[in-house]
Amino acid sequence: EPEVTQTPSHQVTQMGQEVILRCVPISNHLYFYWYRQILGQKVEFLVSFYNNEISEKSEIFDDQFSVERPDGSNFTLKIRSTKLEDSAMYFCASSETERGGQYFGPGTRLTVT
Amino acid sequence: GQQLNQSPQSMFIQEGEDVSMNCTSSSIFNTWLWYKQDPGEGPVLLIALYKAGELTSNGRLTAQFGITRKDSFLNISASIPSDVGIYFCAGIGGSNYKLTFGKGTLLTVNP
């Protein structure tokens, strides 16, 4: 069964450093998303991406965040200058249609020290 | 913004029992999804609902989308130990594609 994959599974970085989180969405899906989940809290939307551009972003997704689909398979989230409060699980998701079921990857645990 | 109120917050049941959890909102959603999340893992899609009043099953799981599009319930029949986890409802509403998540229901099944 097709699935969303994410790398790395765990990333530790120092405050102020740049990180890139990588995702490979399900191959025939056209809509891509990033969410985050702070420990013990609910999943929060960051950004949606369709047709090579951002279709929606949340207040969390400020100028320090960017997304890119560098080729036909990868979808990346970059945080330019990490802050302590960026520590969270980051989930990539994809869907076939704009309001279809979204399938999540296993997540990347980001720890900012 | 849109919010989903999920209840109960936690449940403790015996193996073999049926369980029900629900979500309500003051906003209308076009799509309603139910996910299960195990510790340290990503949410796994259980059931997707697209039409008001829709009743859908996936094995021992049954979910319904309320007629008003503002609520949904998830039932699990004959629970087993591997049903343990956090169950989230999530909705897509308005003109956007993002998922709004509920706070989750923690299910514990005693063997």
Query: Hey, what amino acid is at A91?
Result: F
- Percentage, residues of chain A above pLDDT 70: 100
Considering only CB atoms, which chain A residues are within 8 Å of B92?
Answer: 99
Q: Of A69, A63, A21, A17, nearest to A48 (Cα)?
A: A69
Please say whether the beta carbons of A65 and A77 come within 8 A: yes
Burial of A47 (0-12, 13-18, 19+ CB in 10 A): buried
pLDDT score for B3: 85
- CB pairs < 8 Å spanning A and B: 63
Q: Which pLDDT band, with edges at 50, 70 and 90, does A98 fall under?
A: confident
A31 inside 8 A of chain B by CB: yes
Q: What is the pLDDT of residue A77?
A: 98
Inter-chain residue contact A42 with B40, CB threshold 8 Å: no
Query: For residue A99, what pLDDT is reported?
Result: 87
Taking only the tens place, the pLDDT of each residue in A6-22 is 999 999 999 999 999 99
Over residues A52-89, the pLDDT tens digits come to: 999 999 999 999 999 999 888 899 999 999 999 999 99
Task: Quote the DSSP letter at residue A16.
Answer: T
Collect all residues of chain B within an 8 Å Cβ-Cβ radius of residue A100: 31, 48
Helix, strand and coil content of chain B, in percent to the nearest 5, comes to 5, 50, 45
Task: Please state, in angstroms and rounded to a whole number, the distance separating the CA atoms of residues A37 and A42.
Answer: 6
Smallest Cα distance from B18 to chain A, Å: 25
Cα separations (Å) of A107 from A63, A92, B99? 22, 7, 16
In 3D space, the residue among A51, A111, A106 whose CA is nearest the CA of residue A79 turns out to be: A111
Interface contact flag, B104 A100, Cβ < 8 Å: no
Residue whose C-alpha is closest to residue A90's, from A2, A3, A1, A4:
A4
* pLDDT score of B5: 94
- What pLDDT sits at residue A1? 77
Mind telling me how many Å the CA of B78 is from chain A's nearest CA?
26
Could you list the pLDDT tens digit for every one of the 111 residues in chain B?
Answer: 678 999 999 999 999 999 999 999 989 999 999 999 998 899 999 999 999 999 999 999 999 999 999 999 999 999 999 999 999 999 998 777 889 999 999 999 998
